[in-house]
C-alpha cells in the first residue's frame, strides 16, 4: 500500500506520541509476563526462566495477606466512590443555586485548591492534626490516642482526607453540566408550581445522570488501583496500620523497594491489571445494554 505524500507529514506528527506510548505504556504491559516467570535481575526480563503458574500459587497460599489487601482495595473504592459522588453532586448543586455569584467564585477556588497539594505535603498536615504529643486533635479534645498505631480509625481518617482533597475538583465537572442546563426548564417547572427540591429531583438530577454514568464507568477501571499517595504517604507507611490501610498499589510499591516476595507481587500485579480491565469492559457492556448512549464505547 502506497501512502499518499500528504499523509506522510501526518504520520510524522503522530510519531512522537506513538513512540512514547509504545515504550512507556505498551512495553510495560508486555512486562506482565513477569507473572509467569521466575525473575532474576541478573538475567533480565527475557532470559529469566518461565515458571508457569507457580507465582499464582503463592498468591493463593498467602490467603490472608492477599485477601486483606484486596478487601481493603475494594472497600476504599466503594467508600470513596459513594461518598465522593454524593458530596460532589451536592456541592455542585449547592454552588449552582448560590445567588451570590462573586463570592461563589472565591469559594470555588478554595474548594478546588486541595487537589493541587500532593499527598507528600498533605501527610505533614495530617500529622499536625494526629501527632500523639503535639497533634491538634489530641490537644483539643484532651485525648492521648496514638493515631498512627491504631488501625481501626484509618478508614474514617483516609475518607476524610480524600474527600477534603478531591470533592471540590470533582464538583467542578458536575457544575459545568449544570451550567449548560436550559433555564427555561426551571422556569416552566416553576410555572407549574414545582418547588426548589422538586426541580432538583425532577430536572437537575436526571440531567446529571449521563455524567455520573461516565464518571462511574471510568472509575471502575481503577477499582484495583488506588491513589497510592494517600495510602503510602498519608499513613506514613506505618506497619501497624496495614491491616486497614494496605492496598494493592501500596503493597506492590513496598515490595519493589524491599525486593520481597517477587513472585507474589508479580502475580498480584497481573491480577490487578487484568481484573481491572475486565471489570471496565463488563461494566461498559452492562451500561450499553441498559442505555447505549451512556456507554463509554
Partner 1 sequence: MRKKRKITTGEIVLFLILLMLAITTAIPVLFVFTTAFTDESVLASEGYRLLPSALSLDGFRAVLKYGKKLFVSYGVTIFVTVTGTIFGILVMSMYGYVLSRKDFPLRKFLTVFLMIPMLFSGGQLSMYIIFTSLYHMKDNILLLILPQSVQTIYVIILRTYITSSVPGELMDSARIDGAGEYTTFFRIVFPLMKPALASVGFMMATMYWNDWQNALLFMDSDNKKPLQLLLINIQRSIETLLSNRNIPSAALAAMQGRVPQYSATMATVVVVILPVMIAYPFFQKYFIKGLTIGSVKY
Q: Which of residues 50 and 297 has its CB atom nearest to partner 1 in the complex? A: 297
Residue owning grid cell 450499553: 288
**Binders of partner 1 among 124-143, rule CB under 8 A?**
124-125, 128-129, 131, 133-136, 138-139
The C-alpha angle 33, 36, 37, rounded to 5 degrees, equals: 90
Helix or strand or coil: residue 43? coil
Of the candidates 167, 175, 8, 29, which has an alpha carbon nearest to the alpha carbon of residue 92? Answer: 175
Query: In the Cβ-directed half-sphere of 258, how many Cα atoms lie within 13 Å?
Result: 9
Stretch that binds partner 1, among 25-33, 52-60, 63-71, 73-81 (CB under 8 A): 25-33
**Binders of partner 1 among 235-274, rule CB under 8 A?**
236, 249, 252-253, 255-256, 265-266, 269-270, 272-273
Binding-site member from 2, 13, 102, 144 for partner 1 (CB under 8 A): 13
Stretch that binds partner 1, among 54-62, 74-82, 164-172, 239-247 (CB under 8 A): 164-172
Q: Which of residues 14 and 53 has its CB atom nearest to partner 1 in the complex? A: 14
Min dist. Cβ of residue 109 to partner 1 (A) = 6
What's the CA gap between 232 and 99, in Å, rounded?
A: 41
Binding-site member from 60, 75, 82, 97 for partner 1 (CB under 8 A): 97
Does 121 help bind partner 1 (rule: CB under 8 A)?
yes
The 8 Å CB, 24+ separation contacts for 115-118 are 115/165, 115/166, 115/168, 115/169, 117/165, 118/229
Q: Are 247 and 231 in contact (CB under 8 A)?
A: yes
Does 21 help bind partner 1 (rule: CB under 8 A)?
yes
Residue owning grid cell 498480584: 268
Q: Which of residues 127 and 153 has its CB atom nearest to partner 1 in the complex? A: 127
Instruction: Give the contact letters, 31-70, x = binds to partner 1 (CB under 8 A), - = no.
Output: xx-x----x-x--xx-------------------------
Q: Which three cell numbers stand for residue 274?
A: 487484568
Q: Which of residues 151 and 253 has its CB atom nearest to partner 1 in the complex? A: 253
Cα separations (Å) of 165 from 84, 86, 174, 272?
Answer: 10, 15, 17, 25
Stretch that binds partner 1, among 8-16, 51-59, 185-193, 201-209 (CB under 8 A): 8-16
Amino acid at each position: 500500500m502506497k501512502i499518499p505524500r500528504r499523509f506522510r507529514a501526518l504520520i510524522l506528527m503522530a510519531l512522537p506520541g506513538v513512540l512514547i506510548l509504545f515504550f512507556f505504556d505498551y512495553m510495560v504491559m508486555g512486562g506482565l509476563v513477569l507473572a509467569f516467570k521466575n525473575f532474576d535481575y541478573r538475567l533480565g526480563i527475557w532470559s529469566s526462566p518461565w515458571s508457569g503458574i507457580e507465582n499464582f500459587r503463592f498468591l493463593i497460599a498467602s490467603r490472608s495477606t492477599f485477601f486483606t489487601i484486596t478487601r481493603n482495595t475494594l472497600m476504599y473504592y466503594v467508600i470513596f466512590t459513594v461518598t465522593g459522588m454524593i458530596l460532589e453532586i451536592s456541592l455542585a448543586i449547592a454552588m449552582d443555586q448560590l445567588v451570590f455569584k462573586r463570592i461563589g467564585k472565591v469559594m470555588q477556588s478554595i474548594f478546588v485548591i486541595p487537589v493541587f497539594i500532593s499527598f507528600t505535603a498533605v501527610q505533614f498536615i495530617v500529622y499536625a492534626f494526629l501527632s500523639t504529643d503535639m497533634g491538634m486533635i489530641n490537644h483539643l479534645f484532651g485525648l492521648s490516642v496514638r493515631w498512627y498505631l491504631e488501625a481501626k480509625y484509618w478508614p474514617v481518617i483516609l475518607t476524610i482526607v480524600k474527600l477534603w482533597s478531591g470533592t471540590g475538583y470533582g464538583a467542578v465537572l458536575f457544575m459545568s453540566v449544570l451550567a449548560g442546563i436550559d433555564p427555561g426548564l426551571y422556569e416552566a417547572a416553576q410555572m407549574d408550581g414545582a418547588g426548589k427540591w422538586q426541580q432538583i429531583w425532577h430536572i437537575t438530577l436526571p440531567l446529571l445522570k449521563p455524567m455520573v454514568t461516565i464518571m462511574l464507568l471510568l472509575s471502575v477501571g481503577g477499582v484495583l488501583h488506588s491513589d497510592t499517595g494517600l495510602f503510602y504517604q498519608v499513613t506514613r507507611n506505618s506497619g501497624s496500620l496495614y491491616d486497614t490501610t494496605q492496598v494493592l498499589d501500596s503493597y506492590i510499591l513496598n515490595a519493589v523497594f524491599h525486593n520481597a516476595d517477587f513472585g507474589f507481587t508479580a502475580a498480584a500485579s497481573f491480577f490487578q491489571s487484568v481484573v481491572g480491565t475486565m471489570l471496565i469492559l463488563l461494566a461498559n457492556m452492562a451500561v450499553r445494554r441498559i442505555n447505549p448512549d451512556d456507554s463509554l464505547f
